[in-house]
Amino acid sequence: MNNLVRELRGERGWSQADLAQQLDVSRQTVNAIETGKYDPSLPLAFKIARLFGMSIEMIFIPGEA
């Protein structure tokens, strides 16, 4: 699954560690989501969408990683 997490994080000037802290996950989890190596759980996807003020569908795009 492709996603816009890296772009959205970058627009806000947040490091992976900053985002991880806000989501209560590890920096490695953020990195894995951004690189497409890990698809977040539904609760985490909702948390990410809420944090960026967007819908899940706007952030996560089905398809190849």
> Is residue 39 predicted with pLDDT exceeding 90?
yes
Specify the pLDDT at position 51.
98
Residues 6+ apart with CB under 8 A from 29: 20, 23, 38, 40
- Per-residue pLDDT of 16-33, as tens digits, reads 999 999 999 999 999 999
Cα 46 from Cα 23, distance rounded (Å): 10
Contact 32, 38 (CB under 8 A): yes
Specify the pLDDT at position 64.
60
- Per-residue pLDDT of 45-55, as tens digits, reads 999 999 999 99
